[in-house]
Amino acid sequence: MAPTTWRPRLDPGTAPVLVVLAVLLVALAWAGPAYSEPAGWLALIKRAAPLVILAIGQYFVIVSGGFDLSVGSLVTAEVVIAARLIDGQESATVWVMLLLVGLGALVGLVNGLITTRLLVPSFIVTLGMLLVLDGAVFLWSGGAPRGALSEAFRTLGRKGADLPLIGTLPWSVVLLLAILVGAVVFMRSGTGRTLVAIGDNEAAVHLAGGRVALLKLLAFVLSGVLAAVAAMVLGGFAGVSAQVGQGLEFRAITAVVLGGVLLGGGRGSVVAAAAGALSLEALFSLLNLLGVSGSLESAVQGVIIILAVAYASLGSGLRLRGRGGAASASPAPQ
């Protein structure tokens, strides 16, 4: 028997967003000379890294049938907390970063427990958490964050390794690639496949003995942890602000939808979600190069969500009609 070899393959629905991404990258190279060199592409991925990391976390929740609207406020809270606790001290960097990851996991745990144990819709739970975090940040900072991030903390978002040919490889890009590979391996495992199945038919997974509540809880915890990682990257890149994470939750959802992930769960690829986030960043960079006002970004996100959901609904309707036609054409059982 010939030995089996592993071959990389794309999940269904990934190709369209990769085509969109390729078109946007070509348009960027045409509109901006900087994007005709490796340094320009790395700079784009560096800017997109926080959003891509958030989108991967959001993917886990959405593909299992939920929403996480709290990640933008969590990013803001983590950056403000980091600046206040570190206050420019290099020695405080490591333990504060560990604290931020723990806080992200805790917020995800609370969201998941309320959703799975009290059966409150995740949209309501995470919207409430968004408001709680926003209020807590404002109460603690008075609207003007205090303290400063250390240089070690900023390394993840600002610095990189010098390599021949491509120049500086940002550490945020390395981290992003590691997270993406880990997410792909996880989704190819039995646990990841069960997570998708929960979004498709939660009752069937429960009847088959699947641990539905535990896996949905895991999805929220992963989303919170990745929001903490995104905050560390974004804080190092953009600095401290009380609005640093504003609107990121909607950008992450837009990116996931653009990647073809079905709202309500049950279908979608984590690679496509990441490509959707990168496509969104490439689109906004292109609009900026073309002189389009940045105030239109929200409108563009809204149009993307509407068109992507409409496209997904149309595709689902065609598949259902196809199955119905096949069923009606088959002979009745004797």
pLDDT tens for the chain, 334 residues: list them.
444 454 556 666 688 889 999 999 999 988 878 887 888 889 999 999 999 999 999 999 999 999 999 999 999 999 999 999 999 899 999 999 999 999 999 999 999 999 999 999 999 999 999 999 999 988 887 777 888 899 999 998 888 888 887 778 999 999 999 999 999 999 999 999 999 999 999 999 989 888 999 999 999 999 999 999 999 999 988 878 888 898 899 999 999 998 888 888 778 899 999 999 999 999 988 888 888 766 777 788 788 878 877 776 665 554 445 545 444 444 433 3
Instruction: State in Å, rounded, how far the first CA of the chain is from the last one.
Output: 42
Q: Do the beta carbons of residue 176 and residue 52 sit within 8 Å?
A: yes
Given this model, what pLDDT does residue 330 score? 41
- Residue 188 half-sphere exposure, CB side, CA atoms within 13 Å? 12
Token code pair at residue 268: 């979608």
- The CA distance from 232 to 224, in Å, is 13
Question: Taking the model in full, what pTM does it have?
Answer: 0.90
Given this model, what pLDDT does residue 32 score? 78
What is the rounded (10 degree) CA torsion for 255, 258, 262, 266? -70
- Judged on CB neighbours under 10 Å (0-12, 13-18, 19+), 5 is exposed
Given this model, what pLDDT does residue 333 score? 39
Beta carbons within 10 angstroms of residue 322's beta carbon: 10
Contacts of 268 (CB under 8 A, 6+ apart): 11, 13, 59, 62, 63, 196, 256, 259, 260, 261, 262
Given this model, what pLDDT does residue 7 score? 54
Nearest to 233 by CA among 19, 30, 52: 52
Given this model, what pLDDT does residue 59 score? 97
Given this model, what pLDDT does residue 321 score? 53
Partners of 170 in beta bridges = 160
- CA 254 vs. chain centroid, Å, equals 9
Nearest to 85 by CA among 76, 95, 75: 95
Q: Do the beta carbons of residue 267 and residue 13 sit within 8 Å?
A: yes
